[in-house]
Structure 1
Amino acid sequence: MGEQRISEAVDEEGRQAFVKALLADVMALEQMIEAGRIEAGVRRIGAEQEMFLVGKGFGPAPVAEALLEKAGEERLTTEIGRFNLEANLSPLLLGGDCFAKLEGEIEELTGVASRAAREVGAEVLLAGILPTLRVTDLGIENLTHRPRYEVMNRALRSLRGEDFHLRIEGLDELETTHDNMMFESCNTSFQVHLQVGAQEFAPLYNLAQAVTAPVLAAAVNSPVLLGRRLWHETRIALFARSIELRPATSAVHAQRIEQSRVQFGERWIEESALEIFREDIARFRVMITAEAGEDPREVLARGEVPDLRALRVHNGTIYRWNRPCYGVSEGVPHLRIENRVLPAGPTRRDEVANAAFFLGLMVGLAREVPRVDQVMEFADAKANFFAAARYGLKAQLTWFGGRSFAAPALILGELLPRAREGLRAEGVDGADVDRYLGVIEERVRSGQTGAQWTLSSLAAMEQAGKGTADTRDQALCAAMLAHQQEGRPVHEWPLAEVADDPVALVDGYRTVAQIMTTDLVTLRPDDIVAFAASVMDWRRMRHIPVEDEGRLVGIVSYRDLLRLVARGEQKREDAGAAGAPASGEVTVASIMHADPVRATLDMSTQEAMRCMKEHGIGCLPVVEGDRLVGMVTERELLDLASSLLERALQDRGGEGKQETRDR
């Protein structure tokens, strides 16, 4: 669980004291490693399960605090967003039925969370990124009201010095800015821990870096963010770019190499975990501080174990995808490798299968390839990681000895057999090995990862002309929840469909944000009218918004063009077009309706209809502040009315048939 007793590093004296404690912690860890005081010869595994809370319409439900009060379960805790939750699972010895126990505890804790969630009108959903998330859900009011998150948000803002800029290119493109850290809350993961000895840390950490890519390729489950289809595992790009603290690129900065706090790494490590801790302390400024307490070297001198609190706090602000962790369990210090790459979902069994694959490769390949740095270039491991995140099973990966594989061929032909051997050698029950690695095998053979299921479902619904973008996202979440509760792994899921349920249909059209068009063609005030007329003709548009650097400044309608034509005809008859520009080029600014009636994202559809009727207008531009984000026109409202009428007639027909049968 995250350290809550922290503060911002705003006072120089306090920052210096924390840095001094940080250095003392590193020296104490070095002493423990040299003295052989770090636990060795034991393989323990652990995990952290993050989850979303969803409400009516499957949008995020900011009820985490109320849920935790109802649940009364100390293994459940908060996360960044008030619609996020985290479960900290018990450490287990790697062997026997450890994976069945892991799945059982996930089922237990998600069950506790689900029962408490229903008491506050919500449900628990496992998804790498929630498809129904919208920018309006990411306001500071949805940041969890705990000191850790409030301090982190202020510290990140202070270090950044400006709004966070997010740009991700995939099948679609997303570019936006945000003034807080809430984009991090869009990610939920299933983080896997492996305890390792101090002397074996370096080769095993390097191995974790190598195997992460093929494991991720099979596990991708986050292809959609804010309605855009991006990477197969968009979490990787989102997390890195949502809290980017490096200055904007300039001619000077382009010459420097500056690493991100969210990173895969730049090289293999050579000796121990100390390399990573020292590198991160040297490179990254202290962002938050905590009271240091007693000097850890004095604790060691008494024969006791220090908690190295300063080191753990600073380490928690560096987001390596494979992160070294120091901990103390029952008075014994240990080191862990935390794999932060795997997404939450699609089901509990899928998650445990992903963990079994990763851990099986860690123990299986370690015997066969004790020095991965001697058979693989680090640049290939890093390139593989980003290829897997972007393309999932469609990635091309470079493996040991520079051999190139399509991801499925590498997984099925090279890696699954070694993962099986590794788990069996560790004494994991054969039935569990077959059960969980069998899920990976069938998922890869079918090609249906969570990401591919999502993308295929969206494509099928769109091709069939079913629903709006919002109702399709809701249909995805509804299907996810139903399949998760049923328990079948994702490779067995049928594609999602827009529900025929009339209540769900109405819920999908309640607000302007759910029905508006976001693929906009716009004009600028200085565009010539001939251009405006041509665009409206080509696109068969009756209204077109006018914006100036993203700000809505007016609307041009086909009626405005007709009036202009009529005025021109009259002028030619009366005075030969007197008063018109010599070139005859009239601009959009001269005919547009300035300061038009507008809607906000949370305006109800009913209110939008009433507004358009009262003002006698055929469209409503939708704004966030003064920025144009969408349009609602008569066409969207007619489509809505048609859908609801069609459903009503279907229901009426069904009732009539039932009455006939009853008679």
Structure 2
Amino acid sequence: MTDRSTSNPDSARDSSHKKPGRGDHREFTRELLRDLQALERMVAEDQIESDVCRIGAEQELFIVDRNWMPAPLSSELLEELDDSHFTTELARYNLEVNLDPLVLSEDCLTDLETQLRNSIAKAEAAARNHGGSIVLAGILPTLSRQHVSLGYMTPAERYRQLNETMTRLRGGPYDLRIKGRDEMMLRHDNVMLEACNTSFQIHLQVSGQDFIHRYNVAQMISGPVLAATTNSPVLFDRQLWSETRIALFQQGTDERSPHLAQFRSKPPRVSFGARWLERSAVEVFEEDIARFRTLFGGGLGENSIGELAAGRVPQLLALRQHNGTVYRWNRPCYGVSEGRPHLRIECRYIPAGPSIVDEVANAALWLGLMVGASKRFENPADLLPFGAVRRNFLRAARSGLAAQFLWLDGKQITAQRLLLDELIPLAREGLLDHGCAADDIDRYLDIIEARVDTRTTGANWLVRSHDMLSEVDTISGRAAGLVQEMHAHQQSGKPVHEWPTLEPSRPTGKYCATVDQIMTTDLFTIHPDELIHLAAHVMDWKHVRHVPVEDERQRLVGLISHRVLLRVLSRQATAGESSSMRARDIMATEVIVVTPDTPTLDAIELMGKNEVSCLPVVNDHGELVGILTERDLVRIATPLLRRFLNHAQNGDTVASDS
């Protein structure tokens, strides 16, 4: 919820182009502590606005090109849009839209949807002028490792400083390990993994005196709300958690040193929190200032205590800037609107998408529960242990509507039953009590009810559709098919529970341009010191004709072919020998390799010229990341050839894939 009448602390970060020194950090810390003191005084003296309840939202977007791949066009779109509601994000293929605040009453939900539709339509029109489109997705299925390189980072000083400072604090690369239906283990050297995540962030303004209760309610309902709104199950073609963003954001920006993690219990910057609030809103800010170093230096020039003494409302620029670098899933926010200070709770865990109407329905569920549960439950801390609430949240992230929760009175209940039997009706009550239009409440919460009843969240739709495409298309082809279908449904305006599961489509040559789009990544390898009999068994068990040989660091050191192995074993059998030969004794060491970005046509030419039937694929460090075989080429070529011959027999011109 952006206040357009006051200066934005984010813009203050942009204005500093010098590298912060220790003195700069000391000045910033002085201002930060003054801001905290000023906030404590404003809360104690009841200066925080309390006679109105506003809502707001921030929409994060993906920009894609004609092939549904991430398109680094944010600068071009922002220049064309020329609209202060739009701003940059970490990556050049993302945008953020800040919607205008609305009073929580009457037609606010319809007004929220209208704002969203108008903003996204405006962005879509600008994107089309540059050969692109706008897609709402928690994680875009067509993202690949190349899209999280620094070349895709938005060229702003604050992002450069963010990356440098957090990586320096960590002392090395970021380690990602997420285990779901598939498993992802990844080491990355910058913070750009954060750019894989986009969200639909909802704000609710609360009074200073009511903040503790409302914030604890926000924590209590997080698990069930997340279970109903998951939309991010696929990352780099791996099916992970129902809401993979929860793990990805935390691990991809974790500044904690891995060498100290086993000894210290310091929480990450991205967290759910560790306990119920007890005193005031200031408590959260105190905790975050005590635990997390400032990432940006330099004083911002505000003396908040002096502003209060002069009878003016301080902006608390340092506090807001530091708060913007601590990523609680329920985050407290301070702002100034029409000259009056206010506090908000920002819900950050709900993903972008699947459609605009789904997002407004998600907002209706969260807002309805925030007011309904606040009225029904006097003190969440008396009802549930905080550890149970945090576990509910993580279970929802992993399993969505299938998650099993610990709820009131020690009851074990699935997310689906809890939502249908208790929480959706409670959200209806809350919105009605706040004067929201009954027709709007029915429209949006009926969408939630149908989604939960049919178990068709965005995550479930993506997993089912991904499964349907897994055996009939390339990695890039199925990812592009998913994004294309998501965009079409988003344009139709239908909620996700009305989307049909994506059926396998006729493969085309559009998504076969480079080796990484068609190579096999499920590899069977052996170590140089393994017996050659193991290689023979692997070939027999897994029906492969080549076994790469790699060392302990996954670097390719050789290749054993079916033909060479058969020749060696045949000679030994003829001689009646029992061999103890190792892989290193027979492997080819002069191996022709390619990289993931090698054009497919170049790889085909290389295979023909050198009369080889496979090409191991290695990255810049010599690590084995895939293998391209004749079988991969036949798998792609067969439907294309069939299509070509069918057209030729019918006397038709072969249709273009564009």
Q: Which TM-score applies when normalising by structure 2? A: 0.94
1:423-478 Cα distance to aligned partner (Å, 9 max, x none) = 1111111111011111101101111000000111122233xx42123222211111
* Mapped pair 1:223 → 2:233: yes
Residue of structure 2 in register with 1:245 after alignment: 255
The amino acid across from 2:102 in the alignment is L
Q: Alpha-carbon deviation of 1:306?
A: 0.9
Whether the 8 Å CA contact 2:468–2:504 is kept in 1: the answer is no
Residue of structure 2 in register with 1:54 after alignment: 64
Residue of structure 2 in register with 1:488 after alignment: 494
Change (3 A) 1:561 1:362: same
SS of equivalent to 1:554: strand
Q: Alpha-carbon deviation of 1:358?
A: 0.3
Whether the 8 Å CA contact 1:127–1:345 is kept in 2: the answer is yes
The amino acid across from 1:629 in the alignment is V
Change (3 A) 1:43 1:9: farther
Using the alignment, how far apart are the partners of 2:653 and 2:81 within structure 1?
A: 46
SS of equivalent to 2:61: strand
The amino acid across from 2:262 in the alignment is A
SS of equivalent to 1:192: strand
Which moves more between the two structures, 555-564 or 216-225?
555-564
Residue of structure 1 in register with 2:556 after alignment: 552
* Mapped pair 1:376 → 2:384: yes
The amino acid across from 1:481 in the alignment is H
Q: Alpha-carbon deviation of 1:200?
A: 0.2
Which moves more between the two structures, 584-593 or 127-136?
584-593
Using the alignment, how far apart are the partners of 2:514 and 2:587 within structure 1?
A: 27
The amino acid across from 1:559 in the alignment is R
* Mapped pair 1:193 → 2:196: no
Residue of structure 1 in register with 2:278 after alignment: 270
* Mapped pair 1:121 → 2:131: yes
Residue of structure 2 in register with 1:609 after alignment: 604
Q: Alpha-carbon deviation of 1:647?
A: 2.1
Aligned pair partner of 1:472 in 478, 492, 501: 478
Q: Alpha-carbon deviation of 1:363?
A: 0.8
Please show how residues 75-474 of structure 1 align to structure 2 within 5 Å.
75-248=85-258, 253-462=261-470, 465-474=471-480
1:454-509 Cα distance to aligned partner (Å, 9 max, x none) = 111122233xx421232222111111000000010000000113433x7xx11122
Using the alignment, how far apart are the partners of 1:256 and 1:325 within structure 2?
A: 28
1:79-126 Cα distance to aligned partner (Å, 9 max, x none) = 011111110111000011111111111111111111111111211000
1:182-220 Cα distance to aligned partner (Å, 9 max, x none) = 100000000000000000000000000011111110000
The amino acid across from 1:526 in the alignment is D
Structure 2 unaligned residues grouped into runs of 5+: 1-7
Aligned pair partner of 2:514 in 496, 511, 515: 511
Identity %: 46
Residue of structure 2 in register with 1:590 after alignment: 585
Q: Alpha-carbon deviation of 1:249?
A: 5.2
Structure 1 unaligned residues grouped into runs of 5+: 578-582, 659-663
Using the alignment, how far apart are the partners of 2:122 and 2:646 within structure 1?
A: 39
Residue of structure 2 in register with 1:520 after alignment: 523
Whether the 8 Å CA contact 2:335–2:342 is kept in 1: the answer is yes
Please show how residues 548-587 of structure 1 align to structure 2 within 5 Å.
548=551, 549-565=553-569, 584-587=579-582
SS of equivalent to 2:290: helix
Aligned pair partner of 2:505 in 499, 504, 514: 499
1:7-40 Cα distance to aligned partner (Å, 9 max, x none) = 6885222211111111110011111112221111
The amino acid across from 1:451 in the alignment is A
Residue of structure 2 in register with 1:632 after alignment: 628
Whether the 8 Å CA contact 1:75–1:89 is kept in 2: the answer is yes
Using the alignment, how far apart are the partners of 1:2 and 1:300 within structure 2?
A: 19
Q: Alpha-carbon deviation of 1:627?
A: 1.2
Q: Alpha-carbon deviation of 1:151?
A: 0.9
Q: Alpha-carbon deviation of 1:238?
A: 0.4
Whether the 8 Å CA contact 2:12–2:300 is kept in 1: the answer is no
SS of equivalent to 2:138: coil
Residue of structure 2 in register with 1:661 after alignment: none
SS of equivalent to 1:37: coil
Residue of structure 1 in register with 2:639 after alignment: 643
Whether the 8 Å CA contact 1:296–1:308 is kept in 2: the answer is yes
Using the alignment, how far apart are the partners of 1:174 and 1:26 within structure 2?
A: 40
Q: Alpha-carbon deviation of 1:566?
A: 6.6
Using the alignment, how far apart are the partners of 1:650 and 1:180 within structure 2?
A: 49
Q: Alpha-carbon deviation of 1:536?
A: 1.6
Residue of structure 2 in register with 1:3 after alignment: 10
Change (3 A) 1:2 1:241: farther
Using the alignment, how far apart are the partners of 2:106 and 2:259 within structure 1?
A: 52
* Mapped pair 1:621 → 2:621: no
Using the alignment, how far apart are the partners of 1:198 and 1:9 within structure 2?
A: 37
Superposition RMSD in Å? 2.0
Change (3 A) 1:524 1:124: same
Using the alignment, how far apart are the partners of 1:158 and 1:602 within structure 2?
A: 30
Whether the 8 Å CA contact 1:346–1:484 is kept in 2: the answer is yes
Whether the 8 Å CA contact 1:5–1:290 is kept in 2: the answer is no
Change (3 A) 1:451 1:622: same
1:362-417 Cα distance to aligned partner (Å, 9 max, x none) = 11121111222222221111111001111100011122232221111111111111
Change (3 A) 1:584 1:101: same
Change (3 A) 1:292 1:524: same
SS of equivalent to 1:335: strand
Q: Alpha-carbon deviation of 1:267?
A: 0.7
Work out the number of aligned pairs and report it.
642
Q: Alpha-carbon deviation of 1:568?
A: 5.4
Residue of structure 1 in register with 2:545 after alignment: 542
Q: Alpha-carbon deviation of 1:522?
A: 0.7
Using the alignment, how far apart are the partners of 2:392 and 2:188 within structure 1?
A: 30
1:586-610 Cα distance to aligned partner (Å, 9 max, x none) = 2222222214111111112111111
Whether the 8 Å CA contact 2:24–2:298 is kept in 1: the answer is no
Using the alignment, how far apart are the partners of 1:456 and 1:151 within structure 2?
A: 40
Whether the 8 Å CA contact 2:9–2:320 is kept in 1: the answer is no
